[in-house]
Amino acid sequence: MSKKIVIAGAGIGGLCAALALAKRKFEVLVYEQSPQLNEVGAGLQLSPNAMHVLQTLGIADEIKTKAFRPNSAVMRHYKTGKTYFTVPLGDTATQKYGAHYLHIHRADLHSILHNACKNMNVSIHLGQTIQSYQQTPQNLTVQFDNNECLFADVLIGADGIKSNIQACMLGQTPSEFTGQVAWRGMVQANKLPKGLIKSNANLWVGPNKHFVSYYLRAGNLVNFVAVQERTDWQKESWHENGDISELRSAFAGWHPEVSELLEATDECSLWALFARQPLNRWSDGNVALLGDACHPMLPFLAQGAAMAIEDSYALAHCLAACTDTKTALQTYQKTRLPRTRNIQLNARKNAALYHMSSPIEQAKLALLSGLSSIGLSNRIAANMLDPVYAYNIVEQLN
């Protein structure tokens, strides 16, 4: 008999896990607290390590039709535009890593995953919050916030950074405000001067701030994320409205590619960035965590979605490979924890470099700038990214 697997959360991690498990012939039920499925208007980066999984799940071709493939990843000085490094993407990344590097609207990826899950008969229930669980050697009981209960063979907590499942498993874990806030926004490309935004993953670094921009939806939209160091805003929600005039003021004097983009922006969101220490445990008997519920990422390596996607494949593989659920979930944890811990920590380190936070970081940037003229900075940057992008969880586990 197939195991009944219950997933808390129908975000990208939850739906990707549901699809991966359904492909392995498990019975999957997803419970989402929101009354309707809608992802916030934001872009995300799908690096080759994520695309290997999405290819295996049979949705990569559809993703390519909705996405944008950048030419390069480029880091530049916030005012002069001087290039610190350029890492080729496009065909170079595809040939090097065996999969595309893409930018996609979060809502588009979410919709593709949702439709694929429906086609695999995944049962998705909206407006229902899984509050906690209880388990004995014989039974696992999933408890909802309306006091209803459900028996399951496996419970997966994919319920985000404020995970109820994690809290039930480990108790409330503290978070730490990083002293940084992130602004997000999108602009129709036809509102901008032609050629203003380069067809790259554009990263601008400056004192106490950095700015990222890239195209979505075949180049029809420009997405941006602007990170600023400040202490007077500590809301984590992505849905909080920001003051666009305040954002423009914060990045006044930056390169025209940044300032003109912000001048064309009508609205933005603002949220505070909190960091969590990496967990030492993700599983408890027949219960496991996935994605932001166990390794929330700061957005300085653009790997949050990719790590949840990798988790999904590893989880489905381990449950299919071992009939004993507890052992399977321990193997899943053992497989994923070292990699996600490393990326979690490295993402946090990047903030200091991007914001020129100390004389040491300023010296690193000066070195990159000096080496850029002879191409060495490009090779250094590529070598730093290779362990992230070249990783293939599908090959590793098969």
Q: List active site positions.
A: 214
The CA–CA distances, whole Å, from 83 to 79, 88, 176 equal: 11, 13, 33
Q: For residue 213, what are the β-bridge partners? A: 202, 224
- Please tell me the distance from the alpha carbon of residue 114 to that of residue 137, in angstroms, as a whole number: 33
Structure tokens at 10: 């129908």
The 8-class DSSP code of residue 215 comes to E
Terminal-to-terminal C-alpha distance of the chain: 24
Look at residue 361 and give its three-state secondary structure: helix
Backbone angles phi, psi at 193, to 5 degrees: -55, 135
Look at residue 298 and give its three-state secondary structure: coil
| Helix 304-321, helix 325-354: angle, nearest 10 | 170
Strand order from edge to edge, sheet including 72-77? 83-88, 72-77, 201-206, 209-216, 221-229, 176-188, 268-275, 241-242
DSSP string, 314-365: HHHHHHHH-S-HHHHHHHHHHHHHHHHHHHHHHHHHHHHHHTT-SHHHHHHH
Give how far the C-alpha of residue 42 lies from the chain's centroid of Cα atoms, to the nearest Å: 11
Helix intervals (H) in 120-255: 164-170, 244-250
Look at residue 227 and give its three-state secondary structure: strand
- Please tell me the distance from the alpha carbon of residue 226 to that of residue 213, in angstroms, as a whole number: 9
Other Cβ atoms within 10 Å of 374 Cβ, number: 9
